[in-house]
Amino acid sequence: MNNALEVRNLTASIGDLQILRGVDIDVPFGEVHAVMGPNGSGKSTLCHALMGKSEYTVAGQASVDGVSIMQMTVDERARSGLFEAFQYPTEVPGVTLDDLTAAMAESNPDDGAYAEREGETTRLLSMQPFRSRFVNVGLSGGEKKRSEMYLLGVANPKMAILDEIDSGLDIDAVREVAEMVEAMSDDKIGILIITHYSRILKYMSVDKVHVMVGGRIVQSGGPEIADNLEAGGYTELQAANA
């Protein structure tokens, strides 16, 4: 069986600045993985490179459910089953959540379960008051992240990358977002969470933690890695991989 995501020797740069220096990572279907690392280690660049952001020069291999995405445009990657929830969700005046989800349905007319997912996700996340509002306009940080989780639930991707989904949230909102991720986890999706801190991981089941330093994955293992980083920080790993 293919993995939800397979990445081999992925490099990425902007101009003369190389940021990713050969990243290897697998996320099987049915598993939740986390990538942790200090500021500037390349975590968000990994998200952008996988989604095909045009500012980056990218090389290496990446596939979703066994299909290479490297030559795909951003919309083709999304249609292949790759989804990114943003660290800073964009406000979209004039476009409602219902407009976005209607566009999703139109782009995949053979998806007979769309309406059912939309209803279930609306109930799960209590989204009915937000669906007719412009996307992320006037929402709190927690409400914006809830909107991202709503789009994730409706889109039903094969692979979801959640870029610092806990950024800017208070303790209660972090717990709520973690519970949302848990509720959406099943054996048909792989989830990769990008985060600086272990706090969100305390509220959810994580199968594997990867540590990124200097544009590379330098350590991978169980959830205990997050606890060790919480206690000791990144200084030792940064020194060892300077």
**DSSP character at residue 121:** H
pLDDT band at residue 3 under the 50/70/90 scheme: very high
- Work out the number of other CB atoms within 10 angstroms of the CB of residue 164: 21
Domain that holds residue 146: 5-240
Arithmetic mean of pLDDT over the chain? 90
Q: What is the pLDDT of residue 189?
A: 96
CATH code of the domain containing 90: 3.40.50.300
The rounded distance, in Å, linking the Cα atoms of 35 and 42 is: 10
State the average pLDDT over residues 105-111.
82
State the sign of the Cα–Cα–Cα–Cα dihedral 17, 21, 26, 32: negative
Structural domain total, the chain: 1
**108, 163, 241 from 103: Cα distances, Å:** 9, 23, 45
Q: Is the pLDDT of residue 168 over 80?
A: no
- Residue 27 CB burial class (10 angstroms; 0-12, 13-18, ≥19): buried
State the average pLDDT over residues 109-124.
86
pLDDT band at residue 50 under the 50/70/90 scheme: very high
pTM: 0.92
Q: What is the pLDDT of residue 237?
A: 81
